């Protein structure tokens, strides 16, 4: 009787087990269908949000208020035919940048340079640039205040590691020094309301650069004043032309005054169908200086012109001619020819090799060779066009 009772119990439990299993499977199918429907609705909602345009207002992320930080390193080697130690190798400069939007009204840009003194071979720290720029002034105006590279021509506003050659043109160095015009002050720019041509007018007042051969920061109350007009033309879909004119006036080291008139011309060709592999840039600048030293006046002239051609996707070749008179004596003339080969691996790394020969009318000429390796880590802002 006990075995018969167990069989009856087994006959009762078995259908119950099958019912539970099939019911669970059915419920799972219902839950899966509901989950898929809910997921589909979420995807459609997300796609709808992605199609909405973000607001044009520039602001910092709510997650992190840290500025964009980048490091640019310049490692190099050089040869100078007239030096006692003809070959040298060094870390030329390390530049650290801190850039961020402060609020909807201004942004801040700071560049700290750890550079090597070529004479003492020691490294020093300097604020290369540190300035605030407005973002929302009316009438297409923009104000800048702090320490900045002044709006002189084409190469003065560009950091050295972004130039297509390693050394600076002779005329540029004779008038403005190795660091160029870089000083504390204020700048106001106005985008002119023209339609067929892009025009920008800039006025700047700075305290006077103590390192510049043409201008000096003395005890007098005199400032250095600069005005620059930029004209940018789109010739066609493949080429552009830029014309600029700059006027500068300010005190010099001889308790006099220096006036400089500068002009720049830049033509760029970059075909739409081959823009990754082919391009050409022709850029020239001239400088005319009228300097008064203790009652005497000295007029001088200088220029440079270079042509850069892109050979392949990563290979560039640049040839440059320099003509330079000394600002204090126009009878001293320098002429130089240089060629630079550049391998641009990415926007974060490039290697360049430059050879240059310089001829003087008062001293024997000399030859120079440079090799530099530029690499970037962290945030890396776009360079000026």
Contacts of 138 (CB under 8 A, 6+ apart): none
Contact between 177 and 204 under an 8 Å Cβ cutoff? The reply is no
Instruction: List, for residues 131-160, the tens digit of each pLDDT value.
Output: 999 999 999 999 999 999 999 999 999 999
In the prediction, which pLDDT does 120 show? 82
Binned at pLDDT 50, 70 and 90, residue 66 comes out as confident
> What does the alpha-carbon distance between residue 177 and residue 120 come to, in Å, rounded to a whole number?
18
Instruction: List, for residues 266-307, the tens digit of each pLDDT value.
Output: 999 999 988 899 999 999 999 999 999 877 889 999 999 999
Computed over every residue of the chain, the mean pLDDT equals 86
3-state helix, strand, coil in the chain (%, to 5): 15, 50, 35
Give the residue, 254 or 189, on which the prediction is more confident. Answer: 189
Using the predicted structure, report yes or no on whether residue 371 has a pLDDT greater than 60. yes
Contact between 130 and 147 under an 8 Å Cβ cutoff? The reply is yes
**Residue among 87, 131, 127 nearest 109 (CA):** 131
How confident is the model over 56-78, as a mean pLDDT? 76
- Report in angstroms the alpha-carbon separations of 176 from 39, 66, 122, 217, 277: 65, 35, 23, 13, 35
How confident is the model over 100-125, as a mean pLDDT? 92
> What does the alpha-carbon distance between residue 153 and residue 230 come to, in Å, rounded to a whole number?
9
| Chain centroid offset of residue 277 CA | 22
In the prediction, which pLDDT does 11 show? 45
How confident is the model over 14-42, as a mean pLDDT? 46
**Residue among 286, 291, 340 nearest 171 (CA):** 286
Contacts of 353 (CB under 8 A, 6+ apart): 340, 341, 342, 369, 370, 371
In the prediction, which pLDDT does 45 show? 62
Q: For the chain, which domains are there? A: 132-378 (2.40.160.10)
Counting residues of the chain whose pLDDT is more than 70, the rounded percentage is: 82
**pTM score:** 0.80
Using the predicted structure, report yes or no on whether residue 44 has a pLDDT greater than 60. no
In the prediction, which pLDDT does 243 show? 98
């Amino acid at each position: 009787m006990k075995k018969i009772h167990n069989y009856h119990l087994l006959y009762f439990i078995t259908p119950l087990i099958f019912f539970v299993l099939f019911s669970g499977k059915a419920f799972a199918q219902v839950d899966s269908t509901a989950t898929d429907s809910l997921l589909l609705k979420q995807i459609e909602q997300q796609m709808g949000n992605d199609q909405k345009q973000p607001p044009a207002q520039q602001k910092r992320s709510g997650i992190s208020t840290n500025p964009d930080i980048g490091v640019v390193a310049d490692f190099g080697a050089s040869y100078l035919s007239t030096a006692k130690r003809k070959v040298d190798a060094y870390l030329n400069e390390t530049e650290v940048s801190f850039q961020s939007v402060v609020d909807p009204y201004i942004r801040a840009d700071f560049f700290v340079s750890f550079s090597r003194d070529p004479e003492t071979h020691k490294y020093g720290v300097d604020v290369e640039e540190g300035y605030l720029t407005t973002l929302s002034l009316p009438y297409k105006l923009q104000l800048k205040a702090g320490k900045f590279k002044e709006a002189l021509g084409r190469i003065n506003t560009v950091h050295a590691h972004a130039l297509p050659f390693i050394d600076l043109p002779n005329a540029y160095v004779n008038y403005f020094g190795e660091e160029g015009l870089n000083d504390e002050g204020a700048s106001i720019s106005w985008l002119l309301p023209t339609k067929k041509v892009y025009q920008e007018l800039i006025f700047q007042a700075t305290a006077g650069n103590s390192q510049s051969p043409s201008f000096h920061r003395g005890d007098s109350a005199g400032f250095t004043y600069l005005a620059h007009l930029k004209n940018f033309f789109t010739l066609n879909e493949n080429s552009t032309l830029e014309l600029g004119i700059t006027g500068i006036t300010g005190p010099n080291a001889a308790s006099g005054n220096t006036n400089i008139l500068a002009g720049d011309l830049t033509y760029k060709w970059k075909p739409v169908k081959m823009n990754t592999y082919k391009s050409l840039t022709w850029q020239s600048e001239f400088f005319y200086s009228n300097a008064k030293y203790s009652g005497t006046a000295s007029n001088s002239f200088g220029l440079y012109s270079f042509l850069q051609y892109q050979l392949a996707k990563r290979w560039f070749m640049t040839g440059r001619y320099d003509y330079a008179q000394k600002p204090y004596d126009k009878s001293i003339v320098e002429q130089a020819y240089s060629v630079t080969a550049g391998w641009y691996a990415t926007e974060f790394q490039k290697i360049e090799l430059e050879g240059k020969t310089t001829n003087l009318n008062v001293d024997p000429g000399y030859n120079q060779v440079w090799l530099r390796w530029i690499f970037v880590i962290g945030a890396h802002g776009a360079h000026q066009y």
